[in-house]
A and B are shown apart, each in its own frame.
Chain A
Amino acid sequence: MKRFDCMKALAARLKDELVILSLGGSVDEWYNAAPHMREAGLFQQQLGCVTPQAFGLAAGLPHRRIVSLDTDGGLLFNLGILATLGNEQPKNLFVVVWDNECYQSIGGPPTHTATGRVDLAAIARGAGVEHAHIATTVEEFDALCAKGLSMEGPFIIVAKVAGTVQPDIKRKHSDGREDKYIFVRHVEATEGIVIMGPSEHN
């Protein structure tokens, strides 16, 4: 199963959601698979922080669905977030874990899921996230997206994808600071709020 194909299936189901996603090979793929979500997506660079940030966003905007596009390496860095989600039960958080069983962005050394013994969906269920499922085909993945995006979460899909990157796609070239401004201005415009406001005259 190719991650890019899954992304295209997910992207077709997204409209008003906000997305937090991991840096690495998946960024350029998402940028190409979901161009209509460009301003609504924030790329984060640190292992272990994607789903926690998405949860923080979900806590702050409880009326809006938040999508976390995490990775096996990222989730393994902080499995504790699964227990936090198990206890907090955020209704509006939808998580996809792109489990390619490797640290792809640095050339592909294996993560702990590569042995076949570590099941991130089972860990999530054990941590109290009842709806945590594995997808091994695009059809399974798409059906789980349809389910997870139409019910109250938390909902986690562990997508077992190949360790390859879609070839010949356009590279994203903005940095974390530019991305943050783009994202924050989008949240401000769509929520009718001020996050980074004008300076005081004093």
Chain B
Amino acid sequence: MKQSAVEAVIRGLKKAGVSIVCYLPDSLFKELYPALDADPDIRTIRVTNEGEGAAICGGVFLSGKRAALVMENSGLRAAVEPLARMGLGAGIPVVMLMSYRGELGENNWWAIPHGITMEPVLNALRIPYQVIREEEKIERAIADAYSWSYSAYYHSGVALGGEVVR
């Protein structure tokens, strides 16, 4: 990720009022994680799997603070169970920021499943999302995801792909 894209993500999170970020690091966002760690206005919590991260974000929602779950899109699959139960069973929202591994342009065989499954899994859970491949649209997309999730009390997602992450 370019430094300017990293800064756009952090601007978007701050615009949305996010003060806690749960993450499990990945390679496409590798420049983003240390920038989040270093930001004085954001507390980062490293988790052992993305389902745990989703649950922690749900707990943060209940506190009145705003959280983000940042991860590779493969993490969506790990998080499906808590997302389904929190979202559909209780109306506790989690906003996710994912790197889009496995889209056209992918050059790693192991990442192909992530591209094939991400959008069908989001659709199965009826989670609205945007795929952002232009840096100038990042900030608005993140802020819009929070506006929607705090109206719907349901999850939303932003997947960053294309030139933003490669």
Which residues of A come within 8 Å of B, CB atoms? Answer: 20, 42, 44-46, 48-49, 52-61, 78, 80-81, 83-84, 87-88, 175-177, 179-180, 183-184, 187-188, 191, 193-196, 199
Cα–Cα distance between A199 and B150 once the two chains are bound (Å): 10
Asked if B52 and A81 make an inter-chain contact with CB atoms under 8 angstroms apart, the answer reads yes
* Number of residues of chain B lying within 8 A (CB) of chain A: 33
Which A residues are CB-close (under 8 A) to B62? 42, 53, 56-57, 60, 180, 183-184, 187, 195
Q: Mark B26-69, 1 if CB is under 8 A from A, else 0.
A: 00000000000000000101111101110111111111110100
Which A residues are CB-close (under 8 A) to B56? 52-53, 55-56, 59, 84
Asked if A57 and B82 make an inter-chain contact with CB atoms under 8 angstroms apart, the answer reads no
- How many Å from the CB of B22 to the closest CB on chain A? 8
Asked if B58 and A56 make an inter-chain contact with CB atoms under 8 angstroms apart, the answer reads yes
Q: A52-B53, A60-B20 are in contact. List 15 more A-B contacts (CB 8 A).
A: A46-B82, A55-B56, A56-B22, A56-B60, A56-B61, A56-B67, A59-B43, A60-B59, A60-B60, A60-B65, A81-B48, A84-B48, A88-B45, A179-B90, A188-B64
Asked if A48 and B64 make an inter-chain contact with CB atoms under 8 angstroms apart, the answer reads no
Pair count A-B, CB < 8 A: 119
A180 interface neighbour in B20, B46, B92, B151, Cβ under 8 Å: B92
Asked if B63 and A55 make an inter-chain contact with CB atoms under 8 angstroms apart, the answer reads no
> Mostly helix, strand, loop or mixed at chain A's interface?
helix
Which residues of B come within 8 Å of A, CB atoms? Answer: 20, 22, 43, 45-49, 51-53, 55-65, 67, 81-82, 85-86, 89-92, 151, 153
Asked if A54 and B59 make an inter-chain contact with CB atoms under 8 angstroms apart, the answer reads yes
Asked if B85 and A84 make an inter-chain contact with CB atoms under 8 angstroms apart, the answer reads no
Cα–Cα distance between A20 and B60 once the two chains are bound (Å): 12
Cα–Cα distance between A109 and B80 once the two chains are bound (Å): 25
A–B complex contacts, Cβ < 8 Å, 23 sampled: A20-B59, A45-B85, A46-B55, A46-B89, A52-B56, A53-B56, A53-B58, A56-B20, A56-B59, A56-B67, A57-B62, A59-B45, A59-B56, A60-B62, A60-B67, A78-B48, A80-B47, A87-B46, A176-B91, A184-B62, A187-B63, A194-B64, A195-B63
Asked if A78 and B49 make an inter-chain contact with CB atoms under 8 angstroms apart, the answer reads yes
Asked if B46 and A84 make an inter-chain contact with CB atoms under 8 angstroms apart, the answer reads yes
Cα–Cα distance between A195 and B60 once the two chains are bound (Å): 11
Asked if B89 and A177 make an inter-chain contact with CB atoms under 8 angstroms apart, the answer reads yes
- How many Å from the CB of A130 to the closest CB on chain B? 19
Asked if A199 and B151 make an inter-chain contact with CB atoms under 8 angstroms apart, the answer reads yes
Asked if B45 and A84 make an inter-chain contact with CB atoms under 8 angstroms apart, the answer reads yes
